[in-house]
Amino acid sequence: MRASFFGMAAAFALAACAVAPPYQRPALDVPARFRGQDAPPSEPSLGDLAWWQLYQDPALRRLLETALAQNRDVKIAAARVLEARALVGQSERARLPQVDLTLGGQRGRVVQNGGYVTGALFSGAADVSYEVDLWRRLASLNDAAKANLLATQAARDAVKVGLLSNVATAYFALLTLDAQAAITARTIANRERFFDLTEKMLRHGAASALDASRAEASLAQARAALPDLRRQIAQTENQLQILLGGNPGAVARDTSGAAPLPALPDVPAGLPSSLLERRPDLLQAEANLAAATANVHAAKAALFPTVTLTGNFGSESFSLSSLFSGPSKVWMVGLGLLQPILNAQRNGYVVDAAQARKEQALLQYQGAVAQAFREVADALAARRAYVDAIVAQEQEVQALRDADARVLQRYEGGRSSYFEVIDANASLLAAELQLAQAQRDGLVASVQLYQALGGGWARGTDATAAASVAPAPQPAEEPSP
C-alpha cells in the first residue's frame, strides 16, 4: 500500500514536471566581439562604471542626482514596481489554504413538529478550501507574476538609463550653446573693433565706403546670430528642468563659455556576453519571455483535473447567546475533482493563444538582443569618427586663427583687401562653431555608447549611492533684459 502511494506521488511529480519544465534561456547567436571594438574583448567595460565615476563634471553629477531623485517618469516606474510586487504577493497567497469566516442571522417561519414556528436562527462557520496543485497551475501563475516583477524592475532601470542619457545629452548641448554664444560674442567684439578701424581709414581716405558698408553688414550678421543662440539656450534649459522634475527655468552653471567641454572618456567595450546581464531592456525582454513561458504552463495545467480539499465547521442556534456554547455543531469535509469537459476545446484555444504570446516574446527578445549589439556598434563607430573629426577640426581652427591674424595685419598695412579680411574672419567663426559642435557630438556619442553598454543603473543609481555628490543646484535667476 505504501509503495503504491509513493509510486502515485512520483507519477504525479513527473507529470507536473512534464507540464511545467523549468525556464531556460534560449540559445542566442552572440558575437565574439563588438563590431568596431579596438581592443580584444575583456573586462571591465565602460558599462561597468557607475555614472558618478564616468561623468567627472561636478555640475553634471548634481543634475543627474537630482533627476534620479525627482524625475516623474522614474517615480512612475517605481510605483509600477510596487504594483507588480503586490501582484506577486497576491499570487503566492492563492497557493495557500483559503479560510473564510461567516456569521449570519435570519428570522422567519419554519415547519417544526407538524406546526409552524416563527423565530430567529443564528449561524457561524469557518470554511476552508485548498487546491492541490498537482499540475503546477498555481505555481506557474506565481512564476509568471515573479517574472513580471523582474520585467517591471528592469523597465524601471531602463527608464533610469534613458534619463541619465537625456540629462547628459541636454547638458552637453547646453555647454556647447554657451561656447558658441561666447564665440559669437567674441566675434562681435572683434568685428566692432574692425568696423571702427574701417571708419577711421575711410575718414583718412585709406578705405572705401564699400569697405565700411561691408564691415557694418558683417557686424550685423554676427549680432543677428546671437539671439537665436540665446533662444536655443533657454529652450535647452527648460528641457533640462523638466527632466529634473521641476518647472521651466534657468539651470545653474558656468555660463561664460570659457571652460572647455569635458574630455571624452576611455572606451573599454568589454565582453559581448555581459551585455545580456547588464542592459535592463534585455533583462526586461527575457523576463517577459519567462512570464509568457510560465503562462503556457498554467494554461496546459488547466486542461487537467483540479483537485480541491474543502472543510466546514460551525454552529447553529436559535439564540445568539448560545451560538458558540450550544450543542448544535455542524461540520463537513470533502474532496472535489473538476475535469473540464465541455470547456476542453476552449481551454485548448487558451493554450494556443499562450503559445503564440510566448513565440512573440521569444522573437521580441531575440530582436532586442540584435538591436542592442547594433547600438553598441553604431556608438563605437560614431565615437571613433567624431574623435578623428575633432582632431582635424582643431587643426583647421588653429590654422584659420593664424590666417585671420595675418590678414588683419596685412589689411592694416594696406597689403590685403577688405574682402580677404571678411572671408578669413567668417571662415574662422564657422570653424570655431563647428569645432564646438564636433566636441558636443563626440560627448553625445560617448553617452550613447555608455547607454548601449547598459551602464549607470546596476550599481545603485539612487541618492544614497552618490552621497559624496554635492547638493542639487538651484535654478539661476533669469538675466535682466
Nearest to 444 by CA among 64, 243, 235, 165: 165
Res 124: pLDDT: 66
Domains and CATH numbers, the chain: 41-109+118-452 (1.20.1600.10)
Angle formed by the axes of helices 418-452 and 209-243, nearest 10°: 10
C-alpha cell at 442: 563626440
Q: How far, in Å, CA of 285 to CA of 287, rounded?
A: 5
Q: How far, in Å, CA of 75 to CA of 228, rounded?
A: 35
Res 461: pLDDT: 40
- Sign of torsion over alpha carbons 199, 202, 204, 206: positive
Sequence-separated (6 or more) residues with CB below 8 Å from residue 328:
315, 316, 317
CA angle 431, 435, 441 (to 5 degrees): 140
Nearest to 468 by CA among 161, 157, 58: 58
pTM above 0.75, yes or no: yes
Neighbours of 209 (CB within 10 A): 9
Residue pair 421/191 in contact (Cβ under 8 Å)? The answer is: no
* Distances from the Cα of 464 to the Cα of 53, 72, 365, angstroms: 15, 19, 33
Res 470: pLDDT: 33
Q: How far, in Å, CA of 91 to CA of 141, rounded?
A: 7
Residue pair 288/166 in contact (Cβ under 8 Å)? The answer is: no
Res 73: pLDDT: 92
Q: How far, in Å, CA of 254 to CA of 177, rounded?
A: 12
Res 327: pLDDT: 56
Res 213: pLDDT: 87
pLDDT along the chain (481 residues), means of 10: 46 51 81 75 75 81 90 92 92 83 71 67 73 83 91 91 92 92 90 84 79 86 92 94 91 74 75 82 92 91 82 61 57 71 74 92 92 90 90 92 87 74 86 91 90 70 35 39 32
Res 110: pLDDT: 64
Neighbours of 372 (CB within 10 A): 21
Residue pair 252/173 in contact (Cβ under 8 Å)? The answer is: no
Residue for grid cell 531602463? 158
